[in-house]
Structure 1
């Protein structure tokens, strides 16, 4: 894997010996919660990803964290998280608002439900009064599309939005991307390896001894952090803890991903 160098526009990967290997790449666009646009490249072999997002907002008398998922991602709330609890739905133009509260009123959350995506924020206790909920809903603007939902403060001069991430996952890997301007301080202090227009770090995961014994010496024991001029993005390969050790058949997939993964973040 150390021989892999960089993605060519044609989808060919240059190797250090001067030869090339061809990877079929998919390029697609996602919207971050703060309305940034991401252009993402991944090998076709990755397959479909389930998309999630995170963002936070804070201002005078206002501080909330929001999680975003694709439509249906919060379906377990009334059945598994708050069984028997209170559920109220309020219709809005272009989306619904659903309020969930546990039966003992110790926890609650509010969900914006669009045609493609959902956004959720938690309350540490019972559901707020209607006036408080109305103030929260009035303070943020939810806009949904097939490329992702945005959730932004309506009065941006008074409210800061930060810690925005876009996350994609399936049963083989997890990818995560952030704006480079906000995420630079999270990077390792030592220099990474150069790969195309990005710098790359291989960081050991915090695994228990049994997991480490299963995946030691394989790509599953690390996460891989990339940084370019616009984005900081990460890939972590997932494994079945009940399965055997890393299979040789996985090596080609891992090499393709590490060579072909690219993100451009346009604020």
Structure 2
């Protein structure tokens, strides 16, 4: 299961160095569609560096693709539009929705929007103002699914001081799609002993991955909203979970949610 999960985050946020690193063993193959269930795929991209407390930390990330019955595609947290990946995407269907799921995961959306001008760009509230590059936003993600994918994907919105995130549940595959509200880095993939210690210290290491403790503190004023969202995710009874950073969950999804969100439940 470990090699099924990973995708590319974006430069452009203040923490992105622009340098690809080799400090985190990748989930191969990169930049290719990997089935994750009926009409859902993930894409693992190259590692990036995340600047935190003066350090440069290796960050694996992940893109998710959902295909609707009419063969239109819903793309969550797009990775860099590499040529081979684009060929696979075009063979899969027509790109109709590009999703910026939180206030960090958005960088490659303008590139995809230029390649697929018929696609609608969806983003969390306020991202068009906070984004570090020009970003066209056609629609704002809300607390419930819009008509564009209602019946296929359900959603919740989790407001926060550091990150506002929209999370999604794909009915056909029983898959919950998260971004940063659970981070689950695998220590054995990290080459730096110091970074392994940091991941464990901040609570973002497998097998007990969750929102890092500093992120949890950033939701202090929004605990009620986070709790409500977590309860909704549990009520959906997903069978598996895609996350942006680290190992995904292909079983026991409800148990993993209760464990990872115990800080707010």
Q: Which gives a bigger RCO, structure 1 or 2 (Cα 8 Å, sep 6+)? A: 1
Structure showing greater radius of gyration is: 1
The TM-score normalised by the length of structure 2 is 0.26
- Identify, as 1 or 2, the structure richer in strand: 1
- Identify, as 1 or 2, the structure richer in helix: 2
The TM-score normalised by the length of structure 1 is 0.26
